[in-house]
Amino acid sequence: MEPGTARIAVDLLGGDNAPAVVVDGALRAVRADPDLHLLLVGPPEAAGRLIDTLDPAQRARVAVRPVHAAVGMADHPSAARGDSTVRAAVHAVREGAADALVSAGSTGATVTAAALGLGRWPDVRSPALVATLPAVAGPVVLLDVGGSLEPRPAVLARHAVLGTAYAAVAHAVGAPRVGLLSVGSEAGKGDRARRLADPALAAAALPCGGRYIGLVEGYDVSLGTRADVVVTDGFTGNVLLKAIEGAYAMAGGPPAGGGAPRAAALLGVAGTVVVCHGAARADDVASGIALAAHLWRRRAADLVRALLDGADAGDREDTTDRITDTEVPTS
């Protein structure tokens, strides 16, 4: 386990089965990591059930911020603007009371609250959720998995830079191979967004020695033999992620040495934010908290941001935005 104190704000009311599974997951996390401090954001009575089970030394590492309002899983993302647990968790990070936040609540609400409360990086229009999948040949970074549903070529090109930097910083992948998810690996395959994004990614200056290897298909995500980073839009990525989760369940679990991808990091906002699956179990919440602590201890957000600044991708985004229909390949 990496050394260093990590203070994580946990949204107690986020998720389908909150607060019970969130409290259980937080309990497991604080017992597993002696340098972990938790700020439980939610009803004091729910937090109290966790604190009462801890020994005195562990109890000293848990604090409570009382909040009773939650954003429902079916609520509009704008509901995060109100006095809710996820908004209070974001404020805790912004004011320095916590280093990172974890929520299993509405993805849209969490992304909205983080973008408004922490601010977006000036060169990222659409923050991306990035998940790491335990593929057969090694971990594969997949983004976006739900942060933004926008499939514009400029957004996909920027996600390639984000994913490359994240793979290098968070998972120590050397010279990441980057692929663009499509319906075939041959040039020209896919919809308009993919056909436009393909040359944009080929021209992109990827950090950390990253290189674009072209189009990849869905099975490449599960195998991990062709690409270390797979780029797609948030709609397609979220559907694929949940399909892979279901396949793992049917097969009796993911490949050896890897856990199921039940938590994703939000890239493009000024802070460390981890979003767990809405149907997260206690061990999923504990894993999400561990991921947030890992990213904070590695200063992943700051390092990814620095690598993004060095990629000099701004001009390429503007160029991609000006591509017209007449430039779409026909083959």
Q: What is the pLDDT of residues 236-246, one digit of tens each?
A: 998 988 888 77
- How many Å apart are CA 244 and CA 162, to the nearest integer? 22
Helix (H, G, I), strand (E, B) or coil at 192: helix
**Mean pLDDT, residues 292-299 taken together:** 93
Q: Is the pLDDT of residue 287 over 80?
A: yes
The pLDDT of residue 244 is 82
Beta strands in 67-159 (DSSP E): 100-103, 128-135, 138-143
Q: What is the pLDDT of residues 3-49, one digit of tens each?
A: 789 999 999 998 888 888 999 999 999 999 999 999 999 988 888 87
Beta strands in 112-216 (DSSP E): 128-135, 138-143, 177-181, 211-216
Nearest to 254 by CA among 228, 284, 232: 284
- Share the mean pLDDT of the chain: 83
- As a whole-number percent, the residues of the chain with pLDDT over 70 amount to 86
The pLDDT of residue 314 is 42
**Mean pLDDT, residues 274-303 taken together:** 91
Q: Is the pLDDT of residue 323 over 60?
A: no
The pLDDT of residue 45 is 87
Beta carbons within 8 Å of 279's beta carbon, 6+ residues apart: 15, 16, 17
Asked if residue 19 has a cis previous peptide bond (ω within 30° of 0), the answer is: yes
Q: What is the pLDDT of residues 138-167, one digit of tens each?
A: 789 999 998 888 778 888 988 999 999 999
- How many Å apart are CA 268 and CA 10, to the nearest integer? 20
- How many Å apart are CA 39 and CA 26, to the nearest integer? 10
Helix (H, G, I), strand (E, B) or coil at 258: coil
Q: What is the pLDDT of residues 82-121, one digit of tens each?
A: 678 999 999 999 999 999 999 998 888 899 899 999 999 8
The pLDDT of residue 331 is 29
According to CATH, the topology of domain 1-119 is Isopropylmalate Dehydrogenase (3.40.718)
- How many Å apart are CA 143 and CA 163, to the nearest integer? 7
Beta carbons within 8 Å of 3's beta carbon, 6+ residues apart: 35, 297
Q: Is the pLDDT of residue 80 over 70?
A: no
All structural domains of the chain with their residue ranges: 1-119, 123-263+299-331
- How many Å apart are CA 149 and CA 152, to the nearest integer? 9
Q: Is the pLDDT of residue 135 over 80?
A: no
Q: Could you tell me the pLDDT band of residue 315, with boundaries at 50, 70 and 90?
A: very low
Nearest to 162 by CA among 255, 238, 267: 267
The architecture in CATH of the region 123-263+299-331 reads 3-Layer(aba) Sandwich (3.40)
The pLDDT of residue 72 is 64
Helix 107-118 with 85-94: angle, nearest 10 deg: 30
**Mean pLDDT, residues 63-72 taken together:** 81
The pLDDT of residue 93 is 96
Amino acid at 232: T
Q: What is the pLDDT of residues 163-191, one digit of tens each?
A: 999 999 998 999 999 999 998 888 888 88
Beta strands in 193-323 (DSSP E): 211-216, 229-231, 263-267, 272-276
**Mean pLDDT, residues 211-234 taken together:** 91
Q: Is the pLDDT of residue 330 over 50?
A: no
The pLDDT of residue 319 is 37
